[in-house]
Chain A
C-alpha cells in the first residue's frame, strides 16, 4: 500500500487536479476497507492530514472563482474585450465570417461583418440578383484594415476598408 501511495503521489505531483481526486478516492477506499468498524465511526472522526488540506484547498479555490466571476468584473472593459469574438478569433487571415450587405453600387457590394471597417466585394456571376441590401453572406477575411507605409511617409496610409473574399450567400434557414 505504501508503494502504491508513493506512485500515485508522484503521478499527481506532475499533473493537475484530477489525479489528486482519484488519489484521494483511492486512499479513502483503502481507509474505509481498513476501518472495518461502522460507517458512522468513519464519518464522525475529524479529517486530518491530507484530507483536511485537500478540503481547505478546494474551498479556497471555489471562493476564489466566485469572487472572480462577480457581475462587476464581468462587465469591465478587459473582461468584455477578452470574451469578444474579434479577440477570440485571432489573426483575421483565412477566417470565415458572416457579413451583411448594407450598400450596393452597381456591381460593388459593401459588406459589414462586425469589424471596424466594411469590405467591398464584386457581385459574383452565379446568383447575382440574390445579393440585395440586407442579405447575409459568407466571407473569408484577409485583412481587417488595408494599410501600408509608403516611402518617405511618417505614418501608414489607410484605405479605410477591410479585405475579404466572397464565398456565397448564407445557406440554411435563418434562426428566428
Chain B
C-alpha cells in the first residue's frame, strides 16, 4: 500500500521532467516553437542536432564503452557462474549451462558476458533517451541494496509485494495520466515462493522491455534481455547493482554533456 503511494508520488514528480524529454524527443523545444515562426533555418538546425543526438548513438555497437566496465574474471570472482543443484534446474536454462559438476550446475560465463553486454547496452540507450527504469527484486536479502542502487542512479525500484494491476490496471489504480516504466530490470526473476514474478508477464503484456538475471532455476522466456547468472550470492548481486548503476549514470552524463554541446 505504502509502496503504491510512493510509486505514484515518484511518477508525479517525474511528470514535468518527462514533459521536457517528450518535447525534445519530438525535436522541438518550447523556445524553438516560437522561434520557428520567425526563422525556419534555426529550427532545422535544432532538429538536425537533436536527430544527431538521438540517432547517432544507435548506429554504434558500443557507444558508451560498456565492455570496459567488467571482464570475465570479475564475473568469476563474484561467483556468477554458480548455479543451483541439478534437481532445481529449469529445462529452458539448459542452453546457458556449461555443465553440471557433482550435481551443481555451472553457468557458461562466455555466454553470460555476451548477454550482460547486450543488456547493459540496452539499459544505457534507454537511460540516454530519458527513459524510466524500474528495478524489481523480491529477494528480501537484497531489497535494501536494490533500493539504494535505484536511488543512487535516479531511477525507481519495487522490492515489495507486487499488487495485481500495477502495470495492467495503472490508469485506474493511479491517476489516468500515469507514465509506465520504459524498462524493467529484474535482479531476481522469482518471487518468494519460487515462481515467476508476475511483473515479467505483465511487462510483456504492456510492451515494456525487460532485462532479467536468470539463475539455473528460473524461466528465461518472456524476458527481452536475459542474463544467465547467479542471483543468490551477495557478491554477485553487488556486482550487478554496481554495473547497472554505472551504466545508467554514464548514459545520463553523456546525454547531459551532448545537450550542453548542442546549446553552445
Chain A positions within 8 Å of B, measured between CB atoms, are 75-78, 80-81, 84, 86-87, 90-92, 102, 112, 114-117, 144-145, 147, 149, 155-158, 160
Contacts and interface: CB of A to CB of B under 8 A. Distances in A.
Contact of B76 (A77, A112, A145, A155): A77
B51 to A, nearest CB: 41
Contacts of A144: 104
A145 B101 CA distance: 13
Given A75-B72, A102-B234, A117-B232, 12 more contacts: A76-B110, A77-B76, A78-B98, A81-B106, A84-B76, A86-B82, A112-B234, A145-B85, A147-B85, A155-B89, A156-B87, A158-B217
A40 B118 CA distance: 67
Contact of B73 (A80, A87, A156, A158): A80
Nearest to A80: B76
A147 B106 CA distance: 16
Given A77-B81, A147-B84, A147-B87, A116 B73 contact: no
Contacts of B194: 157-158
Interface string B101-120: 11010101110000000000
B102 A116 contact: no
Contact of A155 (B88, B98, B232): B88
B79 interface: yes
B74 to A, nearest CB: 11
Closest 5 CB pairs of A and B: A156-B87, A116-B82, A77-B109, A147-B85, A156-B88
Nearest to A77: B109
Contacts of A149: 87
Contacts of B83: 116
Nearest to A84: B76
17 contacts: A77-B72, A81-B76, A86-B82, A87-B101, A90-B102, A91-B102, A116-B232, A117-B232, A117-B233, A147-B85, A155-B88, A155-B89, A155-B217, A158-B85, A158-B88, A158-B217, A160-B232
B230 interface: yes
A149 B73 CA distance: 34
Contacts of A116: 79, 82-84, 104, 230, 232-233
A96 to B, nearest CB: 17
Interface of B: 72-73, 76, 79, 81-85, 87-90, 98, 101-102, 104, 106, 108-110, 194, 217, 230, 232-234
B108 A158 contact: no
Nearest to A87: B101
B73 A75 contact: yes
Given A80-B72, A116-B79, A144-B104, A156 B110 contact: no
A136 B12 CA distance: 49
A158 B234 CA distance: 17
Nearest to B73: A75
Contacts of A158: 84-85, 88, 194, 217
A66 B155 CA distance: 50
A76 B109 CA distance: 9
Contacts of A84: 76
A81 B81 contact: yes
B55 to A, nearest CB: 36
Contacts of B81: 77, 81
B98 A81 contact: yes
